[in-house]
Chains A and B, each alone.
Chain A
Amino acid sequence: MKRIGFLILFLAVGFHLKSQNSKFKDSGTLEFGTRSTFSTFSGSGNIGTGFGGQFRLSFGKYLNSEWFLDYFSEDISGLANRNDAHIGWSVMFYPLKRQQQLVTPYILAGHCFDYTKISLIKPSQEKPTPLFSERWSSATQLGLGTHINFSHNFNLSVSGQYMIHLGNDIHTHTHIEKGSEVIHFKENHEEISLEGHLLFTISLNFKIAQLW
């Protein structure tokens, strides 16, 4: 409870400090935001939806950084549930000067650590399979995005990025048993795979402090 109090106080102080100035600088600006991410994981063809938050810390006219945490859930065709968590960072490069304008495009690239868990709802009875499987891995991502600056201290950002996981894939197979589609994990799937997925993010960001 105390932590929440300190967080509210921190945000209030941040807003209050910046209320004295009408404009933030290009460097040293701290932003806070929430985001929704839509994930199209490879193979399954389903779309995962995610909720997350982020901080941004800028380093100049051309450079910004984004520190994010996302949680996803995905329905795998009614046969299994997939949950993912991503924690990571991206460097954002602005090809154009970041003057106050409505649209500010950027290129982003970064790295993240991720957790994946797949729980089977309709497991195969003929092929013995565990009911769930989980893994930790890391990933790297690259994409494009843009800020839409509604004011000097608030922006909406949209981005699309391709994320490649650098680790063992959790592989599932489906087949028909007694007229119904069922699912099982592929056994001994140890090879390293470059499993990737496309992420689309929309975020709402507030500039809360000028750190330097």
Chain B
Amino acid sequence: MVKYLILFFLIWSTAFAQNSTEPVVRKGLLNATGTISFGGMTKHEQTNIYLHGLGEYLVNDWNSLRSDIYFYLKSGDKQMLELNHQLFVGAAFHFNTNHQFVPYVGLQPGLALTQANFVTIQGVTNNVEVSPLISVAMGFNYYASKWFHLFIDGRYVSGKHLSNQKKIDLDELRISFGLGFNINIFGSNSQTKP
């Protein structure tokens, strides 16, 4: 176990030690990450916690096809929602792509699988709904090495859950951060930027 840990950290440090001047953000770049995300609902006093996974592919040097998935874990004491898993598919526009610090903005339509956590009388249950969402994302990636990057992602999500008792606004301001993995499927020298 200790050997594997040492090996892992050696590979890690080697990856970060590479000081390439070649831009990492190019057509063909694949980004992937998994992290924990925190969100504050803007129309209710509730904080939500999610497992967040994202995958992104750069179709050219600036634009990416990007998908994010949020697996709802829990909220505080006043948990309004029993289910609130969300999936987004959309695009992002990356700036400053000749450098390591690469900000972006994104727009992603999405869907949520939602269920309220209201008290119910016998024989009546809270309905499970598929709820359309739209989300605007912004943040940055810092490509510290050829294979890894640090990221901070913030987003505003808008939508509503139509329960069989009353609607719940799903509007939420959310933040994620962590370490991501990146690789270019066309190889490192297949293309050069102007």
Which residues in A have some Cβ–Cβ distance to B below 8 Å?
Answer: 12, 15-16, 19, 34-36, 49-53, 71-75, 78, 81, 119, 121, 150-154, 156, 202, 204, 206
CB distance from A94 to the nearest CB of B (A): 22
Alpha-carbon distance A150/B61, docked complex (angstroms):
11
Alpha-carbon distance A53/B63, docked complex (angstroms):
19
Question: Is the Cβ of B129 less than 8 Å from the Cβ of A73?
Answer: yes
Chain B positions 158 through 170: 1 when the CB is less than 8 Å from some CB of chain A, otherwise 0? 0110101111000
Question: Is the Cβ of B109 less than 8 Å from the Cβ of A154?
Answer: no
What would 4 more interface pairs be, CB under 8 Å, given A19-B28, A71-B111, A153-B59?
A: A15-B59, A73-B160, A150-B62, A151-B62
Question: Is the Cβ of A206 less than 8 Å from the Cβ of B65?
Answer: yes
Residues of chain A contacted by B111 (CB below 8 angstroms): 51, 71
- Tally the A-B contacts, defined by beta carbons under 8 Å: 77
Closest-by-CB residue of B relative to A53 is B89
Residues of chain A contacted by B133 (CB below 8 angstroms): 49, 51
Question: Is the Cβ of A15 less than 8 Å from the Cβ of B57?
Answer: yes
Which residues in B have some Cβ–Cβ distance to A below 8 Å?
Answer: 27-28, 57, 59-60, 62-63, 65, 89-91, 93, 107-111, 129-134, 159-160, 162, 164-167, 185-186
The verdict on A34 contacting B63 (CB below 8 Å), with A72-B132, A119-B164 known, is no
Alpha-carbon distance A206/B134, docked complex (angstroms):
18
Question: Is the Cβ of B109 less than 8 Å from the Cβ of A73?
Answer: no
Question: Is the Cβ of A152 less than 8 Å from the Cβ of B60?
Answer: yes
CB distance from A35 to the nearest CB of B (A): 6
- From A12, A72, A204, name the one whose CB has the most chain B CB atoms within 10 angstroms: A204
Residues of chain B contacted by A50 (CB below 8 angstroms): 132
Question: Is the Cβ of B130 less than 8 Å from the Cβ of A71?
Answer: yes
CB distance from B101 to the nearest CB of A (A): 21
Residues of chain A contacted by B59 (CB below 8 angstroms): 15, 151, 153-154, 206
Residues of chain B contacted by A154 (CB below 8 angstroms): 59-60, 63, 91
Residues of chain A contacted by B27 (CB below 8 angstroms): 19
Question: Is the Cβ of B60 less than 8 Å from the Cβ of A121?
Answer: no
Residues of chain B contacted by A36 (CB below 8 angstroms): 109, 132, 134
Residues of chain B contacted by A202 (CB below 8 angstroms): 107
Residues of chain B contacted by A151 (CB below 8 angstroms): 59-60, 62-63
